[in-house]
Copies of this chain bind each other. A is one copy, B any other.
Amino acid sequence: MGRLVMKFGGTSVADIGHIRNVARHVLREVKAGHHVVVVVSAMAGTTDRLVGWCKEAAPVHDAREYDAIVASGEQVTAGLLAIVLQDMGVPARSWQGWQIPLKTDGVHGSARIAEIDSAEIRKRMEQGQVAVVAGFQGVGPDKRLTTLGRGGTDTSAVAMAASLDAACDIYTDVDGVYTADPRIVTGARKLDRISYEEMLEQASLGAKVLQTRSVELAMVYKVPLQVRSSFEAPDSPNQNKPDGSGPGTIVCEEDKILEQHVVSGIAYSRDEAKVSIRKVKDQPGVSASVFGPLAEADISVDMIVQNVSTDGANANITFTVARKDLRKAIEVLNGVKDKIGFLELTHSADVAKVSVVGIGMRSHAGVAAKMFRSLADKGINIQAIATSEIKVSVLIDEAYTELAVRALHQAYGLEA
């Protein structure tokens, strides 16, 4: 048996009862002979309360103090889990980011991991001690606490696994990665395996199982990831499959996936808004004049469609932004209207992005064509298209989201 990093999020450690459940999962792996590191989030609600206090103290506040305050949440969970593990007879101790140390670049509020000195933890693992690591946090070059930003605990877990040459199990409130959202598609099927690349697309397309950054990190360092449920009984027979494949979905390199599907899943996101600029003068630099100011305002632009008007002198540009950024994007563009010189600006928040993801489409033609045909058959109009090597995304009227996901799930034969 090898080294294993187990990660548990806030809802999995919401109170002492839940923490005890987590400890039983850990105990099972220890009994199976694994050398275990556990990485934990703050108890559900804690981070929100701490962030609320920071905002109440001052709407705009020092990110260094914010980090010191917010990092306390994971510190508490780590200590409590260590106590419960010891109570179950498992040797354990908690580690705060600075104690490991997990060194970051010092960018407070959204630090990146620079270096992990895991020698001491590695030594204690060999002696059978479980390390309970406070996730989401590290220490900057100035010896002040830093937090890793959204999804930081996933990132901590994967980074610890990379540093220890360990596998990484991400325990969450779903039991794996599905071919589509089971709340929408009754026939959605849990995948045994998915490639890093596909998972990365899924994550960035709105499937909230794993954070993009942690998947990137796992891909770079080839950390075998597993997404599995923390709410399933720790001692259920489902926990240890005879073939060692685990009860969840394993995220790994594509050559380790025996049964390749052309398409592995259908993702969707309602967090979209569309902006159209009509009759922009079609000349070199026009795109820069539109997207430069948006970038400066820290607004990420996703899909972009540009076409030349019938008279050949003007262009229409359509693009999408996150729904929360819509108002700001409109303000920015109206502010530079004279400079860009457009006729009209329209916008809509009633749009959704639906995507087909699959590593097999690299070698299979016709995936996009099938998508467009399926949607057309249901009378769904496509407002924009974006593609990558392994995904095709379309922007549609939000009202058709479920219909589109179901139609595509069936079209690619993904049913169980």
Contacts and interface: CB of A to CB of B under 8 A. Distances in A.
Contacts of A98: 98
Given A16-B56, A56-B16, A99-B144, A61 B83 contact: yes
A16 B57 contact: yes
Interface in A57-91: 57-58, 61-62, 64-66, 68-69, 72-73, 75-76, 78-80, 82-84, 86-87
A53 interface: yes
A84 B66 CA distance: 12
Contact of A62 (B54, B68, B76, B82): B82
A339 interface: no
A68 B79 contact: yes
A356 to B, nearest CB: 46
A315 to B, nearest CB: 47
A208 to B, nearest CB: 28
A286 interface: no
A50 interface: yes
A80 to B, nearest CB: 5
Copies in the complex: 2
Given A53-B16, A99-B144, A80 B87 contact: no
A94 interface: yes
B53 A65 contact: no
Contacts of A73: 72
Contacts of A226: none
Interface in A93-137: 93-94, 96, 98-99
Interface string A39-63: 0000000000010011011100110
B69 A57 contact: no
B93 A79 contact: no
Contacts of A84: 57-58
A185 interface: no
Contacts of A58: 83-84, 86-87
Contacts of A96: 68
Contact of A72 (B66, B72, B83, B86): B72
B83 A62 contact: yes
Contact of A69 (B61, B65, B68, B75): B75
A219 interface: no
A144 B93 CA distance: 10
A162 interface: no
A62 B16 CA distance: 16
Interface string A302-315: 00000000000000
Contacts of A56: 16
B94 A80 contact: no
A86 B69 contact: no
A109 to B, nearest CB: 13
Given A69-B79, A72-B73, A99-B144, 8 more contacts: A57-B84, A61-B86, A64-B93, A65-B86, A68-B79, A68-B94, A68-B96, A72-B72
5 contacts: A54-B80, A68-B79, A68-B96, A69-B76, A99-B143
